[in-house]
């Protein structure tokens, strides 16, 4: 979302909240339940330049969310249980599923203790390369390289430099590079970030070792009754930009390594990035062929009974750093903002 779009969206959310309409609408718009998307959970204060803050929440906000969800009468359930409820059309209490993408170590430190405290389940989607401490967390590397340099190489403009001294310049440099390499040739994207790392004397492999849980840690966590694992590919490539063969290989390889390392094959899946440009119809079909139980996107929305026919294109609600306030949780759970955004359609699956 662009800056002015974001601003508009927040104004819309705030006025929806103040109007109280969402409360009256909720029984009609909230659907059966919702899946929350989270990434990192960290207590640290957010610095002036923090382009990935949308992917981070504080442990306090996570706990506040859990409390709100439970107080509102939601069941917190696993993906398996959700599958069951959707498939059988079981009418009961509305439910929430908590999911965490990528396998960040801070999940273990700051999220797991909360799920133990409230005795509720959570699911972590694993990228097999990252947990093997290989591959590139390119969006975080880009942030850290820019954060620590007052000028950086322009990777798509041989010999040119981008200013990155002030927070505003850092944001501009980040946006420029991020959007030029996010879509398109994924291997080229990784070559570019490695070239930038070398040029700026930055250790991109240390980043992965620092931020992502290794298999040993995951095996330890797998003994925890509240923690479940699911698949998030091998290399974290946007599937829609791969050939069908490449996409299948990415998914299969991720699942095989998880099975080998953790002893069980994951039954659920999360598309890397998960937006409309990163995962589409072909990928939904592919996941069905591969026999997964569910696959989640980052398309926004709550779950409706009609999703039982679209289990490979499930929407989620991002619990993100920009909306860390209790009122947004209630509003999101009502489903109303997504219904408005999707032009009144409850399904967005093509």
**Minimum CB distance to Zn ion smaller for 74 or for 284:** 284
**Minimum CB distance to Zn ion smaller for 318 or for 334:** 318
Rounded Cα distance between 170 and 21, Å, is 40
Smallest separation, CB 232 to Zn ion (Å): 6
User: What residues numbered 209-228 form the site for Zn ion, per CB under 5 A?
Assistant: none
Q: Which residue is nearest to Zn ion, using beta carbons? A: 101
**Minimum CB distance to Zn ion smaller for 101 or for 143:** 101
Rounded Cα distance between 215 and 320, Å, is 27
- Piece of 62-70, 94-102, 109-117, 136-144 that binds Zn ion (CB under 5 A): 94-102
Residue 129 in the binding site for Zn ion (CB under 5 A): no
Rounded Cα distance between 100 and 10, Å, is 24
Backbone angles phi, psi at 21, to 5 degrees: -55, -35
Return the residue of 101, 136, 143, 250 that touches Zn ion, per CB under 5 A. 101
Residue 250 in the binding site for Zn ion (CB under 5 A): no
**Count of all residues that appear for the chain in the document:** 350
**Minimum CB distance to Zn ion smaller for 100 or for 284:** 100
CB under 8 Å to 329, separation ≥6 — which residues? 64, 65, 68, 69, 319
Smallest separation, CB 103 to Zn ion (Å): 9
Backbone angles phi, psi at 321, to 5 degrees: -60, -20
| Number of residues in contact with Zn ion under rule CB under 5 A | 2
Smallest separation, CB 271 to Zn ion (Å): 9
**Minimum CB distance to Zn ion smaller for 102 or for 261:** 102
- Piece of 102-110, 176-184, 199-207, 291-299 that binds Zn ion (CB under 5 A): 102-110
**Residue 77: both structure tokens together:** 């359930």
Between helix 204-211 and helix 186-199 the angle, nearest 10°, is 110
Rounded Cα distance between 40 and 227, Å, is 16
CB 69 within 8 A of CB 96: yes
Smallest separation, CB 49 to Zn ion (Å): 22
Backbone angles phi, psi at 146, to 5 degrees: -70, -40
Q: Measured in whole angstroms, how far is the alpha carbon of residue 67 from the centre of its chain? A: 21
Residue 102 in the binding site for Zn ion (CB under 5 A): yes
**Minimum CB distance to Zn ion smaller for 86 or for 122:** 122
- Piece of 18-26, 82-90, 96-104, 310-318 that binds Zn ion (CB under 5 A): 96-104
**Minimum CB distance to Zn ion smaller for 91 or for 187:** 187
Please report, for residues 50, 53, 184, the alpha-carbon distance to residue 167 in angstroms, rounded to integers and kept in the order given. Answer: 9, 14, 28
Please give the residue ranges that form the binding site for Zn ion (CB under 5 A).
101-102
């Amino acid at each position: 979302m662009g800056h002015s779009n974001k601003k508009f969206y927040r104004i819309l959310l705030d006025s929806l909240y103040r109007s109280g309409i969402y409360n009256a609408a909720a029984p009609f718009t909230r659907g059966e339940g919702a899946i929350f998307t989270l990434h990192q959970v960290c207590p640290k204060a957010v610095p002036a330049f923090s382009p990935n803050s949308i992917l981070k929440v504080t442990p306090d906000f996570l706990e506040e969310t859990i409390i709100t969800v439970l107080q509102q009468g939601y069941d917190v359930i696993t993906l398996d249980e959700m599958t069951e409820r959707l498939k059988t059309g079981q009418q009961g209490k509305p439910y929430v599923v908590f999911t965490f993408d990528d396998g960040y170590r801070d999940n273990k430190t700051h999220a797991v203790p909360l799920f133990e405290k409230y005795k509720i389940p959570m699911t972590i989607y694993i990228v097999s390369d990252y947990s093997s401490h290989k591959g590139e967390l390119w969006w975080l590397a880009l942030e850290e390289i820019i954060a620590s340099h007052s000028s950086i190489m322009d990777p798509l403009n041989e010999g040119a430099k981008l200013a990155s001294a002030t927070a505003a310049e850092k944001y501009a440099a980040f946006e420029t590079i991020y959007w030029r390499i996010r879509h398109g040739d994924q291997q080229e994207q990784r070559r570019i970030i490695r070239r930038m790392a070398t040029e700026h004397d930055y250790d991109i492999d240390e980043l992965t070792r620092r931020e992502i849980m290794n298999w040993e840690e995951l095996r330890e966590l797998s003994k925890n009754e509240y923690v479940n694992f699911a698949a998030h590919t091998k290399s974290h490539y946007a599937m829609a930009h791969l050939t069908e063969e490449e996409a299948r290989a990415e998914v299969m390889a991720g699942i095989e390594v998880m099975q080998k390392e953790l002893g069980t094959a994951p039954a659920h899946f999360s598309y890397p990035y998960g937006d409309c440009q990163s995962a589409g119809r072909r990928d939904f079909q592919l996941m069905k062929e591969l026999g997964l139980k569910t696959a989640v996107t980052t398309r926004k929305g709550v779950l409706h009974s009609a999703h039982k026919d679209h289990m490979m294109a499930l929407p989620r609600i991002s619990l993100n750093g920009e909306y860390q306030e209790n009122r947004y949780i209630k509003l999101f759970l009502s489903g109303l903002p997504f219904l408005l955004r999707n032009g009144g359609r409850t399904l967005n699956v093509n």
